[in-house]
């Protein structure tokens, strides 16, 4: 049968909800599952991929988040993700396809990211994010550990998805919120907020709407950033940008004590080419500041709070 909206939660139906959301200049996403049931026990899309895709399109849905619970074998999992991708394309409506495919493969086998990118617009690799620093840290640690296999496949049309932004809730300090926003920009991550906009602070709103950070995140070159060195508590990440520019993040994983200084040479960046022969340096986070012009052989020292990040653009 055809999926139906819950009459108590959506008394006017999903199409009316989509029309309302679109009238506000926003997009509507919906959730389903490759298996016969979702992770929460609601009906999944197994063997109803074409029908469900047509239903979502008729409702005016703009994004499908497709989970991988209750899918049976890995072969059925892969088949389901492929079939839903083809079904969405057949509807003629532009629907972003958000997959969990590699996350469900990794405990057993290495994902084929070339195939996954062929079918999905972005994909989750790791556990769900929670409103806590330990969750953000675990995502960053996993990404750095696996960057050799995941960074090279990311680009326009297909992105690694480290999950949603939890900025504006209650579990992160200000420095930790800055870290999530800065690092999600470095990782070229899809930016989805998971918060209650009725109760968001002005500071969180400023961070989430920061145009310089968003410009780094959505840079048209479309290359994902990566960790280039780690020194005790400090990590140095870079992301190539269009126009021969670079974004650089200095992350302090220290959780106790006060701010610490980290000094790096510009010869570390871009295989020695990011600042050759010279470059202007602008700090984007935690507050905007112009550092001036530096030569290729010079160094920069930045002060970073515990669990904080300084985001620079060269």
In order of their start, the domains of the chain are: 13-217 (3.20.20.70), 226-313 (2.60.40.1180)
Rounded to whole angstroms, the Cα distance separating 12 from 7 reads 8
Which candidate in 6, 52, 62, 67 is catalytic? 67
Q: Identify any residues that bridge with 285 across adjacent strands, giving them in sequence order.
A: 311
Q: Helices then strands (H, E): number in the chain?
A: 10, 13
pLDDT in single tens digits along all 314 residues of the chain: 899 999 999 999 999 999 999 999 999 999 999 999 999 999 999 999 999 999 999 999 999 999 999 999 999 999 999 999 999 999 999 999 999 999 999 889 999 999 999 999 999 999 999 999 999 999 999 999 999 999 999 999 999 999 999 999 999 999 999 999 999 999 999 999 999 999 999 999 999 999 999 999 999 999 999 999 999 999 999 999 999 999 999 999 999 999 999 999 999 999 988 999 999 999 999 999 999 999 999 999 999 999 999 999 99
Which candidate in 19, 50, 52, 128 is catalytic? 128
Rounded to whole angstroms, the Cα distance separating 306 from 256 reads 6
128 is catalytic: yes
- How many residues belong to the chain? 314
67 is catalytic: yes
């Amino acid at each position: 049968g055809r999926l139906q909206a819950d009459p108590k939660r959506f008394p006017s139906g999903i199409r009316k909800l989509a029309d309302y959301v679109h009238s506000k200049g926003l997009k509507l996403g919906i959730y389903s599952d490759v298996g016969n049931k979702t992770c929460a026990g609601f009906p999944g899309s197994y063997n109803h991929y074409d029908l469900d895709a047509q239903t979502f399109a008729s409702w005016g849905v703009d994004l499908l988040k497709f989970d991988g619970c209750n899918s049976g074998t890995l072969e059925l999992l892969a088949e389901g993700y492929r079939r839903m991708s083809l079904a969405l394309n057949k509807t003629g409506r532009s629907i972003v396809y958000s997959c969990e495919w590699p996350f469900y493969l990794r405990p057993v086998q290495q994902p084929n990211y070339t195939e996954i990118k062929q079918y999905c617009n972005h994909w989750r690799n790791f556990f769900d994010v929670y409103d806590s620093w330990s969750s953000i840290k675990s995502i960053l640690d996993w990404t750095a550990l696996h960057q050799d296999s995941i960074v090279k496949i990311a680009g326009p049309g297909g992105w690694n998805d480290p999950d949603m932004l939890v900025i504006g809730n209650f579990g992160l300090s200000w420095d930790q919120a800055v870290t999530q926003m800065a690092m999600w920009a470095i990782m070229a991550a899809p930016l989805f907020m998971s918060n209650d906009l009725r109760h968001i602070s002005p500071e969180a709103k400023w961070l989430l709407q920061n145009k310089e950070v968003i410009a780094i995140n959505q840079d048209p070159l479309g290359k994902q950033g990566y960790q280039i060195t780690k020194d005790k508590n400090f990590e140095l990440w870079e992301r190539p940008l269009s126009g021969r520019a670079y974004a650089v993040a200095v992350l302090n994983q220290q959780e106790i004590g006060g701010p610490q200084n980290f000094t790096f040479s510009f010869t570390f960046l871009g295989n020695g080419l990011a600042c050759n022969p010279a470059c202007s340096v602008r700090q984007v986070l935690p507050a905007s500041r112009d550092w001036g012009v530096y030569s290729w052989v010079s160094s920069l020292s930045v002060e970073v709070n515990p669990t904080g990040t300084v985001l620079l653009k060269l």
